Copies of this chain bind each other. A is one copy, B any other.
Amino acid sequence: MAQTNQVFIAIIGAGGVGKCFLSQLADLSTRRPSPKLSLCYISTSKKAVYNADYSIGDNALQDLAASTKAPMSLPQVADYLAAAPSKAILVDNTSSQDVADAYPLFLSRGVSIVTPNKKAFSGSYKLWQDIFSAASTSGAKVYHESSVGAGLPVISTLKDLVDTGDEVIKIEGVFSGTMSFLFNSFAPVEGSGGQWSAEVKKAKELGYTEPDPRDDLNGLDVARKLTILARLAGLPVESPTSFPVQSLIPKELESVSSGDEFLQRLPEFDSQMEETKSAAQKQGKVVRFVGSIDVASKAVKVGLEMFDKSHPIAALKGSDNVISFYTKRYGSNPLIIQGAGAGGEVTAMGVTSDFIKVVSQIS
């Protein structure tokens, strides 16, 4: 039965990030016996594990694989958690819009949320308002560090700047591990780099792209992250399609039926990217896919830009992200955060550190 000092946890999603989070959670429970962290629900889109007495065994993943129970509907999960013997946290490790749309319901029932899911915070501005007003009314918490830059302290740093009264002037950076990898190989600071289509193919083979690389190349992932940061900086951005986003998908290949066909035909368009690269080279620069938010002029944009070879954005390595915060207090030298912005373990780390912060506030 419930101890006074106990927190109930429901996890939706058991993919790459979900599995890493489960393992970090188990490790956390071992190192910190109090409060007791009680997993009471775990589900994929197909099945679930839960019990009426809010206790499930220690082998959640095995039990999930063997389960024949269908997941509850989201309102049912909200009822179940709201009726738990003590405070409850929903960990949404999916990228589902449906789950995101239910956040206001969970929060209004007093259930806190931690998640790397970008959809809730980069969807309609109304959903954003509903989420934070539900949280503010009920006192439930909502944390989403890993929605930008995975485990890098991007969201928390921006919140700290804003909460302490600094004035954010501009945010600029490389927000996609995939785009970082592609451009660091295609247009390196030293050497001439590869053909564009070959680099995209290589990135896909290394697992750095979505199954269909167009889901990275359309720029929407970066636009979603910029939407989140812009809103945190005070701009009421309506949606990730309400500002200029440059897509790197050639018009002619937008509607081809598969990612494979896209990759097969991409070499036909290499000359376009090659021109962009040499235009930059002629100015001693390199081209990078970046996002920026100019707070004063309310200008948010995503796309290709040229950078001096000595610029921190040009010098990026591997699939690292880099985010620069220009603020009134920090002046001309920005506060910079850099490092891996994708990967199961570092994404789960952002979720786990949010989880710890929520637990410390509600237990």
Contact = CB atoms under 8 A, between A and B. Distances in A.
Contacts of A157: 153
Interface in A70-93: none
A161 to B, nearest CB: 7
Interface string A143-158: 0000000011100110
A330 B336 contact: no
A360 B330 CA distance: 26
A254 interface: no
A331 B335 contact: no
Nearest to A353: B160
A317 interface: yes
Contact of A317 (B333, B335, B349): B333
A267 interface: no
Nearest to A23: B165
B349 A340 contact: no
A346 interface: yes
A30 to B, nearest CB: 9
A250 to B, nearest CB: 31
A31 B163 CA distance: 9
**A160, A334, A348: residue with the most chain B Cβ atoms closer than 10 Å:** A160
A318 interface: yes
A165 B336 contact: no
Contacts of A337: 153, 335-338
A165 B23 CA distance: 10
A299 interface: no
A349 B160 contact: yes
Nearest to A165: B27
Given A164-B28, A164-B353, A339 B334 contact: yes
Contacts of A166: 349
Given A28-B165, A164-B28, A356-B163, A335 B335 contact: no
A207 to B, nearest CB: 15
B338 A339 contact: no
A69 interface: no
Contacts of A338: 335-338
Contacts of A329: 151, 343, 345-346, 349
A337 B345 CA distance: 20
A348 B345 CA distance: 33
A361 interface: yes
B318 A333 contact: yes
A-B CB proximity, top 5 nearest: A335-B339, A160-B353, A336-B338, A164-B352, A27-B165
10 contacts: A24-B165, A28-B163, A153-B156, A153-B160, A163-B353, A333-B339, A336-B336, A336-B337, A336-B339, A338-B338
